[in-house]
Amino acid sequence: MLIEAKDAINALNYSGAITILTTQVSASSQAKLEFKEALASAYAGQCGLNFASFVNGLASATSGSAFRLVMNPFVGVVVDSPSCLQSLNLMETIGTTESRTTNQNAFVSVVGMVLMGSQTRVSSDVTPTNGDGTIDADVCAMSNDDIDRVILGFGFMSKNFSALSTAQLGSTSQTSITDSITQCSAVAGSTCEIIDPAEITDPLRDVMRDLLNTIEYGVGSVVTNGDPLLIPGACP
């Protein structure tokens, strides 16, 4: 069944792979590492991830804020952000960041980017269906459910970011994303590596909305010139 599931993933038939791995294999097989990794890959694909294409796009980028960089691959693309969260939560059952392999953590970091990027596109670029690259919705008005997915994606990304190299991401993307992680932590006054929904607070939601509404880090128009003191209040 694992071979059939991987064949389905390679054929971009993610729902078929998920069906195989969740309904056609035994519970004992589902608990095995290789089955968990395959299912996590299928959920990530259903979310919208094409790993090679996504990472190559980051590596070749020459400009862009962190959120623009991770959102742009999903312009004009059908996405399912909650599937990314299923993928990430499944990876957590394999082990913590400290106990997983570098390759596993690199995958988790990328899926975190896809979660935050796909949800940002869905929430900020709504017309036409699947977006066109123009921000036409107010990120400051994002629902708690939507901003929570961005926060969790950001958390998984940043918590595992050290597993990704400059060679994989390119200097522009690595710098932009690193800057966003630094500023989020500076504004929040604590870590932004939140991966448990129960740990999300209203102040953190405000921080993420503010960060999204800046031009340097997000998809908005508020200019901060790199000053973290100007990020709070970016959303009126």
201 domain residue, yes or no? yes
* Span 141-198, pLDDT tens digits: 999 999 999 999 999 999 999 999 999 999 999 999 999 999 998 886 767 999 999 9
| 190: containing domain | 52-230
Handedness of CA 195, 197, 201, 204 (dihedral sign): positive
What pLDDT shows up at residue 3? Answer: 87
Answer with the residue of higher pLDDT: 186 or 208.
208
32: left (phi over 0), alpha (psi -120 to 50) or beta: beta
Query: Does residue 162 belong to any structural domain of this protein?
Result: yes
32 located within any domain? no
Q: What is the pLDDT of residue 67?
A: 96
pTM: 0.94
Counted domains in the chain: 1
pLDDT value of position 1: 80
Contact 115/88 with Cβ under 8 angstroms?
yes
**Residue type at 98 in one-letter notation:** E
Q: What span, in angstroms and rounded, lies between the C-alpha atoms of 179 and 217?
A: 8
How many other CB atoms sit within 10 Å of the CB of residue 128? Answer: 9
Query: What's the pLDDT at 10?
Result: 92
Q: Is residue 88 part of a domain?
A: yes
Cα distance between residue 40 and residue 226, in whole Å: 36
Reported as a pLDDT band with limits 50, 70 and 90, residue 54 is very high
How confident is residue 126, by pLDDT bands cut at 50, 70 and 90?
Answer: very high
pLDDT for residue 22: 92
Q: Is residue 12 part of a domain?
A: no
Instruction: Identify residue 110 by its one-letter amino acid code.
Output: V
* Residue 9 pLDDT: 94
Residue 10 is assigned to a structural domain of this protein: no
CA distances for 132 relative to 42, 46, 190, 198, angstroms: 26, 21, 35, 34
Instruction: Give the per-residue pLDDT at 138.
Output: 95
Q: Is residue 28 part of a domain?
A: no
Confidence at residue 68, expressed as pLDDT on a 0 to 100 scale? 96
Instruction: Identify whether 24 is part of a domain.
Output: no
CB atoms within 10 A of CB 153: 26
